[in-house]
C-alpha cells in the first residue's frame, strides 16, 4: 500500500497510526482530524480540564518528537466528507481528494443533544476539548445551579466536577437506578448513593420534557430551567446533556461500507472492503461465533482495537480477532470505580472485600456459578489481581 489514511485524530486514530509504523508500514501515512487541535485524550475533559487542573499540553496524546517519529501528515481541522468506493479516495471538506490504498475509520462519535436545545445559551454537551472549555467558562462566570441530564459515567463525572467547583447540582436520570444497564442495579444503587453522599440532588425515573429559557439581551435566549416528564421543574442556568453519542458515520453514505449504529465489521475490525478497517467507538464488530455485534465507547476499547485492525489491514484479510475484556473506569467524588468483564442482570453479585457502605470494596459478578465480571471502588490492587484471573479463565 502506497498511501493509508487514518480518518479520526483522537485516541483510536493516533494508536492506529502508531500501530501502522510499529507493524512495519513504511508508506505515506495521512491522519485526517476534524478538530483543529492536536490529538488529545478525552477522559480528562470531564475531570481535570473542567476543574482547571490540566492544560492542553498535559492532555496531548503526542508531543512534537512523537509526531516527527511517526512521519505522518497531520491534516487537522479537515473533515472526511465522502469515501469513494472501492476505497480509492477520500473527498475532504477542503474540496480536495486524497487517493488512498487503505483506510482506518476512527471517527468516533458526536454527542447527542436535547431536541430544541440548539442555540440556547447555557446548554452544553461534553465530547470535545472546546466543549469542556466552554462549559468551564460558563461555570466560572457565576453559575448558580447546574442540571446534568444523564446519570451515566460522563454525567456523573461532570456532576462530581461541578460539586468540586462549589456549584449546586441536580442529576436527571431516566432509569430508576443510574448505571444499572452498565453495572447492574445493585452496584448502580451504590453509585446513586455517591451523589447523595455529596449533597447532589438525584432525580431518577424521569426524563426531560423541555427547556425553559428567557431572552439574553443579545438577541438570543438563555436557559433558566429544565421541565421534567413527571411535571417537576429543575431551576438551572447551566444544563449539561450527557445522554450518549451517535457514531460519526454519515460521511460513509454510498461508500459500500455497511453502517448500523456504527461501522459493521467482522471479529477483526475489517469491513466488507478488505482495505477498510474500523477502530474505537465507531467500530461495531462481531463479538462471538453467533455473529453478535458490539460497540464499546470506552477508552480501553479505543486503545486496543487499532492493533488488530491494522494487522488485518496490512495482511489484506482477517488474520487476527479482537477480544475485549470490557474494562472501564470512572472517577466520581474522589472514588475510582473500575470494572472488567460482563454484567448479567439476573446473576449474582458477591462482595469479596470491603462493603458498599464504606465506599471501598470489590465485588464479583456471577453467571451459572462462574465469575464473569469484577468491579472495585477504590481497591485497585485487588481489582487488578481479579481482572487478570478473569482474563486467564476466559482465555482457556
SS3 305: helix
What is the per-residue pLDDT across 288-342, written as a single tens digit (0 to 9) for each? Answer: 778 889 999 999 999 999 999 999 999 999 999 998 878 999 999 999 999 999 8
pLDDT at 392 over 90: no
The cell for 236 is: 438551572
76, 140: one domain: no
Query: How far is Cα 294 from Cα 269, in angstroms, rounded to an integer?
Result: 11
State the pLDDT confidence band at 396, using cuts at 50, 70 and 90: low
pLDDT at 395 over 70: no
38, 186: one domain: no
State the pLDDT confidence band at 345, using cuts at 50, 70 and 90: confident
CA distances from 79 to 5, 96, 326 (A): 12, 11, 30
Domain of residue 365, CATH code: 3.30.390.30
What is the per-residue pLDDT across 329-342, written as a single tens digit (0 to 9) for each? Answer: 999 999 999 999 98
Q: Phi and psi at residue 146, in whole multiples of 5°?
A: -115, 135
175, 269: one domain: no
22, 88: one domain: yes
233, 140: one domain: yes
Average pLDDT for residues 113-137, to the nearest whole number? 95
117, 106: one domain: no
Asked if the structure places residue 68 within a domain, the reply is yes
Asked if the structure places residue 320 within a domain, the reply is no
* Domain interval for residue 122: 113-241
DSSP 8-state code for residue 61: S
State the pLDDT confidence band at 156, using cuts at 50, 70 and 90: very high
Q: Evaluate whether 82 touches 90 at the Cβ level (below 8 Å).
A: yes
Last residue of a domain, one of 218, 241, 264: 241
pLDDT at 161 over 70: yes
Last residue of a domain, one of 187, 210, 241: 241
Average pLDDT for residues 191-210, to the nearest whole number? 97
Last residue of a domain, one of 255, 280, 315: 315
Residue 394: per-residue pLDDT: 67
CA neighbor of 280 nearest in space, from 307, 303, 295, 302: 302
118, 105: one domain: no
Asked if the structure places residue 74 within a domain, the reply is yes
This prediction's pTM: 0.94
Percentage of the chain beyond pLDDT 90 is 90
| Cα torsion 123, 194, 167, 45: sign | negative
Give the count of domains, the chain.
3
Percentage of the chain beyond pLDDT 70 is 99
Alpha helices in 198-348 (DSSP H): 299-315
102, 216: one domain: no
258, 216: one domain: no
Q: Are strands 360-367 and 348-355 parallel, antiparallel or unpaired?
A: antiparallel
Average pLDDT for residues 219-229, to the nearest whole number? 96
Residue 315: per-residue pLDDT: 97
101, 51: one domain: yes
Average pLDDT for residues 144-158, to the nearest whole number? 97
Cβ-based neighbour number of residue 9 at 10 Å: 28
230, 301: one domain: no
Task: Collect all residues with Cβ–Cβ distance below 8 Å to 364 and sequence separation of at least 6.
Answer: 349, 350, 352, 371, 373, 374, 375, 386
105, 251: one domain: yes
Average pLDDT for residues 36-54, to the nearest whole number? 96
DSSP 8-state code for residue 236: -
What is the per-residue pLDDT across 203-222, written as a single tens digit (0 to 9) for each? Answer: 999 999 999 999 998 899 99
Q: Longest C-alpha distance within the chain, in Å?
A: 65
Query: How far is Cα 150 from Cα 203, in angstroms, rounded to an integer?
Result: 10
Amino acid at each position: 500500500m502506497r498511501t493509508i489514511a487514518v480518518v479520526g485524530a483522537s485516541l483510536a486514530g493516533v494508536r492506529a497510526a502508531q500501530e501502522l509504523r510499529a507493524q512495519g508500514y513504511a508508506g505515506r501515512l495521512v491522519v485526517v482530524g476534524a478538530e483543529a487541535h492536536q490529538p488529545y485524550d478525552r477522559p480528562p475533559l470531564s475531570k481535570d480540564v473542567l476543574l482547571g487542573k490540566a492544560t492542553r499540553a498535559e492532555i496531548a496524546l503526542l508531543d512534537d518528537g512523537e509526531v516527527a517519529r511517526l512521519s505522518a501528515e497531520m491534516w487537522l481541522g479537515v473533515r472526511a466528507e465522502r469515501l469513494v468506493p472501492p476505497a480509492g479516495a477520500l473527498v475532504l471538506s477542503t474540496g480536495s481528494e486524497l487517493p488512498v490504498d487503505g483506510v482506518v475509520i476512527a471517527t468516533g462519535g458526536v454527542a447527542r443533544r436535547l431536541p430544541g436545545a440548539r442555540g440556547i445559551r447555557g446548554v452544553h454537551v461534553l465530547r470535545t476539548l472546546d466543549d469542556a472549555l466552554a462549559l468551564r467558562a460558563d461555570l466560572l462566570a457565576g453559575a448558580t445551579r447546574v442540571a446534568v441530564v444523564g446519570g451515566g459515567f460522563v454525567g456523573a463525572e461532570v456532576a462530581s466536577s461541578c460539586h468540586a467547583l462549589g456549584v449546586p447540582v441536580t442529576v436527571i436520570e431516566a432509569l430508576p437506578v443510574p448505571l444499572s444497564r452498565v453495572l447492574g442495579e445493585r452496584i448502580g444503587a451504590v453509585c446513586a448513593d455517591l451523589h447523595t453522599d455529596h449533597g447532589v440532588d438525584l432525580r431518577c425515573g424521569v426524563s426531560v420534557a423541555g427547556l425553559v429559557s428567557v431572552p439574553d439581551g443579545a438577541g438570543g435566549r438563555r436557559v433558566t430551567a429544565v421541565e421534567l416528564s413527571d411535571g417537576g421543574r429543575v431551576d438551572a442556568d447551566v444544563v449539561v446533556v450527557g445522554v450518549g453519542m451517535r457514531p460519526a458515520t454519515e460521511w460513509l453514505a454510498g461508500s459500500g461500507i455497511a453502517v448500523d449504529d456504527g461501522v459493521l465489521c467482522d471479529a477483526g475490525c475489517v469491513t466488507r472492503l478488505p482495505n477498510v478497517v474500523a477502530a474505537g467507538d465507531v467500530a461495531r464488530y462481531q463479538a462471538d461465533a453467533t455473529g453478535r455485534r458490539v460497540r464499546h465507547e470506552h477508552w480501553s476499547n479505543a486503545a486496543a482495537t487499532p492493533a488488530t485492525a491494522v494487522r488485518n489491514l496490512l495482511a489484506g484479510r482477517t488474520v487476527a480477532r479482537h477480544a475485549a475484556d470490557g474494562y472501564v473506569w470512572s472517577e466520581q467524588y474522589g472514588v475510582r470505580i473500575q470494572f472488567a468483564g460482563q454484567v448479567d442482570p439476573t446473576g449474582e453479585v458477591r462482595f469479596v472485600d470491603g462493603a458498599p457502605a464504606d465506599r471501598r470494596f470489590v465485588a464479583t459478578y456471577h453467571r451459572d456459578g462462574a465469575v464473569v465480571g469484577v468491579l472495585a471502588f477504590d481497591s485497585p490492587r485487588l481489582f487488578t489481581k481479579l481482572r487478570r484471573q478473569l482474563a486467564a479463565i476466559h482465555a482457556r
